[in-house]
Structure 1
Amino acid sequence: MAKFSFDIHASEGEARTGVLKTPRGDIRTPAFMPVGTAGTVKGLYMDQVRQAGADIILGNTYHLMLRPGAERVKRLGGLHKFGGWDGPILTDSGGFQVWSLSKLRKMTEEGVTFQSHLDGSKHMLSPERSIEIQADLLGADISMQLDECTDFPVSHDKAAKSMELSLRWGRRSLEAFGDRETQTLFAIVQGSNFPDLRKLSAEASIAEATSGGYGGFAIGGLAVGEGHEAMCETLSFTTPHLPKDRPRYLMGVGKPIDIVEAVYRGVDMFDCVIPTRSGRHGQVWTDRGPYNIKRAEFAEDRSLLDESITCPASQDYTKAYVHHLIRSKELLGAMILSWHNIAYFEDLMARIRASIASGTFEAFVRGFRAGWPSEKG
């Protein structure tokens, strides 16, 4: 299996900045991956995603396998060609969506049988099928092992059993993935909020020697209702058990304050639907938290969305105009805010990388914490 070169250029405390090199291009870390659920980052053209500063996007196994179908995507040239994105793509395994969206699901050692949220049709997702979809049919540069998303809150015993199942599925995912020159596979560390389980999961994943082991390590099972402080605590006792020479990916996170705190604890990669999902509902993201452009105070506000962000969406439209678009339910309003929010998140990552490189990240974190509203953290 390919283990993409991961060069750490600078570090400060646990935070580090560098480059993950893939055959389709370099990924500057810490990196935020816009979510392209169904082969598109909602509301944006791919050149806008690239212009906003993204080096990599995320594709969704569950949604693409149901519609239009992974085999169809393969026939149409793979996800890169199908979606018009020539950079790296990471795909999730489908496990989280099965857990969160399926009307009915049955978990066994073999895999998970579930009912589609679209039409009720039944499907089987095993570690082997997940890898086939991600690596062979969609053509992902980075695939994820199939795991079970653990419920929260959960007992220690149930969390242990869930974690152990994910480890067994991870071994099967590795075997199915085999030896590939231009693609890699990430492990997913589980264990809920229990330090001993996170340690066991990390150590067992690192010990896997099949096909050369994993190319990176993800931290799963967070941002599922545990809250910001518990997430930070879990990261603090998890990242020390992960290899320093491999990228660390925090799945499904998150708010800007979550990202800053996770980088502070040694995380390198992130994804979240927040920028586009909240943009479609009128939320504008800033270093001081989000605000809703639909509020009456913006009806005659001639200031720009955010002139500090180098993005047409941020610099070319007044708050009054976007307020009007969103209140009128015009598609352009959702498009502008989604574009701005992606650009803001990518600008945040650029500032984080620059502060680590210059040795000022501690000061950056202190300032960010001070400006973030506590009720939104």
Structure 2
Amino acid sequence: MRIASRTRRGYRSAMTRISFSLSATDGRARTGTIATPRGEIRTPAFMPVGTAATVKAMLPESVRETGADILLGNTYHLMLRPTAERIERRGGLHRFMNWERPILTDSGGFQVMSLSGLRKMSEQGVTFKSHVDGSLHELTPERSMEIQRMLGSDIVMCFDECTPFPAEEGVSLESMRMSMRWAQRSKEAFGDRPGHALFGIQQGSVFRGQREESAEALRKIGFDGYAVGGLAVGEGQEAMFDVLDYAPDMLPEDKPRYLMGVGKPDDIVGAVKRGIDMMDCVLPSRSGRTGQAFTRNGVVNIKNARHQDDPRPLDENCDCPACRNYSRAYLHHVFRAQEMISGMLLTWHNLRYYQDLMEGLRGAIAVGQFDAFEADFHTARAEGDIPRL
């Protein structure tokens, strides 16, 4: 399939629909490509989070250099500041933030549901007070679709309620069924938008029957991709994997499957093993700003005193600028001195590590070596970061 060609002002569409193709499977693990007018997304894919039209501590060009094919933007934060209307007047989110590749935006539902005392929910939608200035707003399926259209998102998420954990079975069932009604309204409000995709979101907490009912409702409505929602909300990895043992297989095999808000490197490997194609999480950038680095041998706290005279790179197998150009001793120094470059370098490294992990997963699946890759991954982490003698 011919992909859009780049012009001086961006991308010229050479296709009208976003499509997904699988190139290989290994057990339940899958690798393939999501083709969009703005470029291909290689799956399994990790999406860095650009909450407020920026991946914190990174230039868009730098994010692309890490290997990212797609970013995630946050509907809730952008609708409040600078507003979707302002972004639309400036040519859309891609031009506004200087990112010409695909962008997925969440629906705003998760952030609104987390406001607790600042919101009021009904069948119509959610009325809430802004955490920025206290102003009153209403977010409905129709309004969420309108905002994401103004942002120019390539992949749009349905408006849903992210069921909290733990939740009683009856509470979860009521929440899931309302999300399915909102999914229908989201689909109707989204309309026919060639070159853009709408993803439905499966809910049902940890209840298998509810997950099946939700998946069936979403399949009847029909979406371009499907997300497994309501996980990574405090249930723990074991419970999450228990749900992923069956939930992805309830969704169409020929569409992308997206696990929202995940996660740690071992979460990602376990999710891919269970048939997930896309993931996102703030962890690599947030950890980078606090001195935590993800490496093949586990997490390194660069602020630890044992690094203060260490001439080695952070990760000898990494080609990011932090590892290529700076020692652990220097990284330790700039973090202890609270210099801005500290968070910049470790964020770059963490994002590169995540993209290296995805590249390794794709390569292993392509040649039928996922099990060996998984075993090596866990062995290296078990060995840990060996201190310098």
Q: Settle same-fold status: TM greater than 0.5.
A: yes
Superposed CA offset, 1:125-161 (max 9, x none): 00000000012x1000000000001010011100000
- 1:1-377 pair list within 5 angstroms: 4-101=18-115, 103-135=117-149, 137-208=150-221, 213-372=222-381
Please tell me the residue identity of whatever aligns with 1:300: D
Structure-1 residue corresponding to 2:9 = none
Instruction: Please state how far the C-alpha of 1:101 moved relative to its aligned partner.
Output: 4.1
Q: Which moved more, 1:281-290 or 1:179-188?
A: 281-290
Q: TM-score, normalised by structure 2?
A: 0.93
Please tell me the residue identity of whatever aligns with 1:110: Q
Secondary structure of the residue that 1:28 maps to in structure 2?
strand
Instruction: Please state how far the C-alpha of 1:288 moved relative to its aligned partner.
Output: 3.2
CA distance in 2, matches of 1:86, 1:24: 7
Instruction: Please state how far the C-alpha of 1:23 moved relative to its aligned partner.
Output: 0.6
Instruction: Please state how far the C-alpha of 1:310 moved relative to its aligned partner.
Output: 2.4
Is contact 2:17–2:36 with CA below 8 Å preserved after alignment? no
Instruction: Please state how far the C-alpha of 1:57 moved relative to its aligned partner.
Output: 0.3
Instruction: Please state how far the C-alpha of 1:240 moved relative to its aligned partner.
Output: 1.2
Q: Give unpaired runs (5+ residues) of structure 2.
A: 1-15, 385-389
CA pair 125-181 structure 1, distance change in 2 beyond 3 A: same
Q: TM-score, normalised by structure 1?
A: 0.96
Please tell me the residue identity of whatever aligns with 1:269: M
Is contact 2:297–2:383 with CA below 8 Å preserved after alignment? no
CA distance in 2, matches of 1:255, 1:363: 20
Instruction: Please state how far the C-alpha of 1:286 moved relative to its aligned partner.
Output: 1.6
Please tell me the residue identity of whatever aligns with 1:321: Y
**Count of residues paired in the alignment:** 369
Superposed CA offset, 1:277-323 (max 9, x none): 01110000123331210000001111112231222222111111111
Is contact 1:102–1:115 with CA below 8 Å preserved after alignment? no
Instruction: Please state how far the C-alpha of 1:276 moved relative to its aligned partner.
Output: 0.5
Superposed CA offset, 1:46-73 (max 9, x none): 1111110000000000000010011000
CA distance in 1, matches of 2:382, 2:105: 33
Counting aligned pairs with the same residue, the percent is: 57
Please tell me the residue identity of whatever aligns with 2:308: A
Please tell me the residue identity of whatever aligns with 2:207: F
Please tell me the residue identity of whatever aligns with 1:338: T
Instruction: Please state how far the C-alpha of 1:373 moved relative to its aligned partner.
Output: 5.1
Instruction: Please state how far the C-alpha of 1:80 moved relative to its aligned partner.
Output: 0.2
CA distance in 2, matches of 1:71, 1:306: 43
CA distance in 2, matches of 1:282, 1:223: 23
Is contact 2:44–2:362 with CA below 8 Å preserved after alignment? yes
Secondary structure of the residue that 1:237 maps to in structure 2?
coil
Q: Which moved more, 1:294-303 or 1:279-288?
A: 279-288
Please tell me the residue identity of whatever aligns with 1:249: Y
Superposed CA offset, 1:186-228 (max 9, x none): 00000000111111101110111xxxx2100001111110001
Q: Give unpaired runs (5+ residues) of structure 1.
A: none
Q: Which moved more, 1:145-154 or 1:97-106?
A: 97-106
Pairwise CA RMSD of aligned residues?
A: 1.4
CA pair 103-373 structure 1, distance change in 2 beyond 3 A: farther
Please tell me the residue identity of whatever aligns with 2:98: G
Instruction: Please state how far the C-alpha of 1:371 moved relative to its aligned partner.
Output: 3.7
Is contact 1:256–1:345 with CA below 8 Å preserved after alignment? yes
